[in-house]
Structure 1
Amino acid sequence: MTKIYVLDTNVLLQDPNAVFSFQDNEIVIPAVVLEELDSKKRDMSEIGRNARHVSKLIDSFRKTGKLHEQIILENGGTLRIELNHRSFHQLQEIFLEKTNDNRILAVAKNIAIEEEGKEDGKPVIIVSKDALLRVKADALGLLAEDFLSDRVVEVEHLYTGMQEIFVDIDCLRIFYEKGEISALDLSEKKTFYPNQFVIMKDEMGSSSSGIGMVDKRGANIKKLKSSYESIWGIRPRNAQQMMAAELLFRNDIQLVTMIGKAGTGKTLLALAAGLMQTEDLQSYKKLLVARPIVPVGKDIGYLPGEKQEKLRPWMQPIYDNLEYLFNTKKPGELDSILAGMGSIEVEALTYIRGRSIPEQFIIIDEAQNLTKHEAKTILTRVGERSKIVLMGDPQQIDHPYLDEYNNGLTYVLEKFKGESAAGHIKLVKGERSQLAQLAADIL
């Protein structure tokens, strides 16, 4: 049986092609949704871009028929703009105010009543990213669903970049003697991705173990290239940080993604690796560090001063790590060091569109606040002989239209996990302080 889906505005702002996600069912867009899209189309952010995209898409549908009647979509479903079901008679005793959300509910309720009077009536379902609108719909006896088609993967199934397997002691002996071992010799049932880390443990329970990395073809598991005892004055403190260092120093891996809770060392380790390869090894001409400008809590409004002064509060977490790495003690000392070096650039992602960035070590912090489109925009800026590192915590998102399932960081790491030019690792152990680790675990 076909169904009728009534779409909320936030679904279209999240995914401008959402109308093609409902197979051969009927899609209803209330007129108030068009009004809300119109109010967003001048926004210069990703939301505004999506609003303009949806507006043009719906306008293109006019060529196939009258939108207020019904038009057939290319996937076999239908779409119509609903103009005739605005009556608040069914809602007036429950929701007094005629807000936009309540107007959407009124459309769905009136269509549902109309369908109930038919012999072959169809189920009517509201689709919304707004949890409270779904709660209101339930109170009215309407079916309501979250929009899930934009989810890349469930977080519990998120690619970690490593897997742990138990092997025969002879396999460990061969691994250490030859420096590599065939993936088929370890397990015929396991699927290995290029540049994935494998922790091998003795199946008999001894303390023998080994850490290897899958090659580009996914055929062999090789020993890590270096122990990285000192990286710009710091050293990896656990196995996952050692794996991260391997990815950060491999010239054949152009894209590195790292996820982990606060305090796991993502930013510090990436900055140290970038400084070492830019200043000491001269592998790159410049270190570029950027992060999206998304406030935590209420926005503090416009900031005074020139561009760098305006950016300083947003970039302060980066400067905090640089102060630690340069071991600065006095106010202004870090600024003097950075001005003298000239090879370190701290920038906001606002200014990255249109650029081409060759021969640079690029670090994008807080990448979980990127949309899929923004992540694509950033990666397509990367020039020849550059390396880019995307890192963040998918469970700490400040963007109003993103969640842990559909953000740009999750999107990139899942799409690139089978590519030989990319590597990923999930950091699990906090190293900032005992209190920070405790807070990350229990709060």
Structure 2
Amino acid sequence: MTQSKVFVLDTNVILHDHKCIYNFEDNDVVIPITVLEELDKFKRGSDQINFQARQFVRILDEIVGDDLFNGGLSLGPKKGKLIIETGKPFSKQMKESFRDDIPDHRILAIAEAVRDKYPERKTIFVTKDVNLRMKAKSLHIESEDYKNDKITDVNVLYEGIREMNEYNDELIAKLYDNKSLSLEEAGIGDSPFANEYLILKGNRSSALAHYNPFTKTIQRVDKHTAYGIKPRNAEQTFSLDALLNPEIKLIALTGKAGTGKTLLALAAAIAQHKLYDTTLLARPIVALSNRDLGFLPGDAEEKVSPYMQPLFDNLSVIKKSFNPRSTEVQLIEELQKDERLVITALAFIRGRSLSNCFFIIDEAQNLTPHEVKTIITRAGEGTKMIFTGDIMQIDSPYLDMQSNGLAFLTDKMKGQDLFAHINLVKGERSYLAELASDLL
């Protein structure tokens, strides 16, 4: 019989997923006492990590109740035990390697002691901190990332667009005339994903199309203009088509900086202001150098203002497409004044009603899968949600291309009737910006 493993968890794993202790099958899970000490510092606050800390402590309280640990408590049927390990003295190797007595090193000391305590079993230290994983491995402690919510392969991530070369010119002509084709007429061998976009290229003609999962037809996609913003390429045309389609309630727009993701979403929101009570444009704040926003001067609004400036820049681009005295610009200003168009930090959205709302979440690659799930599950009747971001540009130290919420959303929601994903490749800011994005 194969011996079960022992997993020692770092604090950041719990702050990433408060239910993580249930995801290690029949293996034992060890929580270092230092982790509980660190969680205590995160219990107060309105950010997602504060919520995770509070929820984990509640789960721990339910498991333990009035009992003492005394070697561990069961996590449930076909699960291992939950063990709390108290502080351990630094070994000779630890003392020689690390001079500072900091929480990370105290957790490592406990992981080392657990490894030595169960020599017949494999002990694995789990942390989302890459540097701490390297430190653990230097001490001959097996270490790995928390993989439960990672996608399998970012290189095969669904892009939402399929290019079909050598397509039949007669079928393209028929699509233009009739505006739609049945799947049988279209002659597409592999059934498209729901709301997948198609670039059909014949010898003499081409067409842009979309698979409608409700009618099960291939529909022609025409270029739309949204509040003065015109699409400049096929990807932007597809994006506006999805953004303006009331049947698609959840959209992921991915791509590098300058591809127009946020601008298109904001323009589409304003163009549909009569359909929605509120337009919310928000982004998560990743503190600089791991410092909390509290170190910045000013009130809450002044603290987050620098982070929100790129969103206001997109609004300025839309305004500049009209005369400053035009009714279009006046409408934008009225929407802002009446708080029907709100640009703010994502943390400040907590508690707001998300019914009949056009909700744009920018820089979504800096969200965890759990945060993305929390946001989506708060969607009320009539709400449309758009997540934009670049999975190649992640600012959070504990997320990567496989574990960030935007990639996770795209991977898990593909094929759903209410979901569309468009990966924008071509930059439209300038040749200089495009060159820098590709080469630097």
The TM-score range, normalised by the shorter chain, is 0.7 to 0.9
RMSD between aligned residues? 3.0
| 1:113 match | 116
Q: Is the 8 A contact 1:11 1:18 kept in 2?
A: yes
Gap change, CA 1:311 and 1:114, over 3 Å in 2 = closer
How far the C-alpha of 1:187 sits from its partner, in A, is 6.5
Which residue number in structure 1 is paired with residue 223 of structure 2? 227
Give SS of 1:93's match.
helix
1:159-214 per-residue CA deviation (whole Å, 9 max, x = no partner) reads 21112234552554554454333435666763422111122334xxx354332111
State how 1:3-14 maps to structure 2 within 5 Å.
3-14=5-16
Superposed CA deviations along residues 378-436 of structure 1, whole A, max 9, x for unmatched, are 33444433433221212223334433333333333333322222222111100011121
- Cα offset, 1:22, TM superposition: 1.4
**1:352 Cα deviation (Å)?**
2.0
* Aligned-partner Cα distance in 1 for 2:278–2:61: 45
Q: Which amino acid aligns with 2:232?
A: R
* Counterparts of 1:361 and 1:209, CA distance in 2: 33
Q: Which residue of 1 aligns with 2:134?
A: 135
Once the two structures are superposed, what CA deviation does each residue of 1:39-69 show, in whole Å capped at 9, x if it has no partner? 2222432112111222222222224964240
Q: Relative to structure 2, which stretch is displaced further, 360-369 or 263-272? A: 360-369
384-393 or 128-137: which moved more?
A: 384-393
**Residue type of the alignment partner of 2:47:** S
2:387 is equivalent to residue 408 of structure 1: no
8 Å contact kept, 2:32–2:87: no
Any residues of structure 2 matched to 1:248-263 within 5 Å, and which?
248-263=243-258
Structure 1 range deviating more: 144-153 or 260-269: 144-153
Partner residue of 2:395 out of 394, 398, 411 = 398
In the alignment, is residue 69 of structure 1 matched against residue 65 of structure 2?
Answer: no
Q: Which residue of 1 aligns with 2:99?
A: 96
Letter in 2 for 1:387: K
Change (3 A) 1:109 1:187: farther
Where 2:252 maps in the other structure, the secondary structure is strand
Asked if residue 435 in structure 1 is aligned to residue 437 in structure 2, the reply is: no
| TM-score normalised over the length of structure 2 | 0.86
Native 8 Å contact 1:355 1:381 kept in 2: no
Distance 2:200 2:323 in 1: 43
Please give the per-residue CA displacement for 1:239-271, whole angstroms capped at 9, x wherever unaligned: 100100111111222222211110001122122
2:159 equivalent in structure 1: 160
Q: Does 1:29 align with 2:22?
A: no
Q: Distance in 1 between matches of 2:254 and 2:125?
A: 34
Q: Which amino acid aligns with 1:352?
A: I
* C-alpha contact (below 8 Å) 1:138/1:144 kept by paired residues: yes
- Counterpart in the other structure of 1:289: 281
Residue 271 in 1 paired to residue 266 in 2?
yes
- Check conservation: 2:10, 2:125, Cα contact below 8 A: yes
Give the equivalent residue in structure 2 for 1:245. 240
Q: Structure 1 residues 296 and 100 mapped into 2: Cα distance closer, same or farther (>3 Å)?
A: closer
Contact 1:196 1:213 in 2 (8 A): yes
Would you identify which runs of 4 or more consecutive aligned residues in structure 1 move more than 6 Å? 334-337
Cα distance in 1 for partners of 2:187, 2:103 equals 57
Unmatched segments (≥5 aa) in structure 1: none
- Give aligned-pair identity as a percent: 38
Cα distance per residue 1:4-60 (max 9 Å; x no partner): 222111111111111122111222222222212222222432112111222222222
Give the counterpart of 2:317 among 313, 324, 329: 324
Change (3 A) 1:292 1:143: closer
User: Within 2, Cα distance between the matches of 1:27 and 1:360?
Assistant: 42
From the superposition, tell whether residues 184 and 37 of structure 1 become closer, same or farther in structure 2 (CA, over 3 Å).
Answer: farther
Q: Is the 8 A contact 2:46 2:347 kept in 1?
A: no
After the TM superposition, which of the residue ranges 7-16 and 212-221 deviates more from structure 2? 212-221
Partners of 1:309 and 1:45 in 2: CA distance: 18
Q: 1:78 maps to which residue?
A: 81
In 1, the alpha carbon distance for the partners of 2:355 and 2:184 equals: 38
Q: 1:321 Cα shift?
A: 1.9
> Alpha carbons of 1:69 and 1:243: their partners in 2 closer, same or farther (altered >3 Å)?
same
Partner SS, residue 221 of structure 1: strand
> Structure 1 residue 216: deviation in Å?
1.6
Q: Measure how far apart 1:335 and its partner are.
A: 9.7
Whether the 8 Å CA contact 1:353–1:381 is kept in 2: the answer is: no
Name the SS for the 2:264 alignment partner. Answer: helix
Any gaps of 5 or more consecutive residues in structure 2? Answer: none
Deviates more, 1:140-149 or 1:211-220: 211-220
State the distance in 2 between where 1:16 and 1:141 align: 28
Equivalent AA in structure 2 for residue 410 of structure 1 = A
Aligned match of 1:379 in 376, 381, 385?
A: 376
Amino acid at match of 2:181: I
Instruction: Specify the SS of the correspondent of 1:355.
Output: coil
More displaced stretch, 146-155 vs 290-299: 290-299
Cα distance between partner residues in 1 of 2:437 and 2:310:
17
TM-score (norm 1): 0.85
Quote the Cα distance in structure 2 between the aligned partners of 1:347 and 1:217. Answer: 35
Q: Which position in structure 2 is the counterpart of 1:198?
A: 198
Look up the SS of the partner of 1:91 in the other structure.
helix
Query: 2:146 — aligned with what?
Result: 147
SS in 1 for 2:98: coil
**Alpha carbons 2:151, 2:411 under 8 Å: kept:** yes
Aligned residues: 427
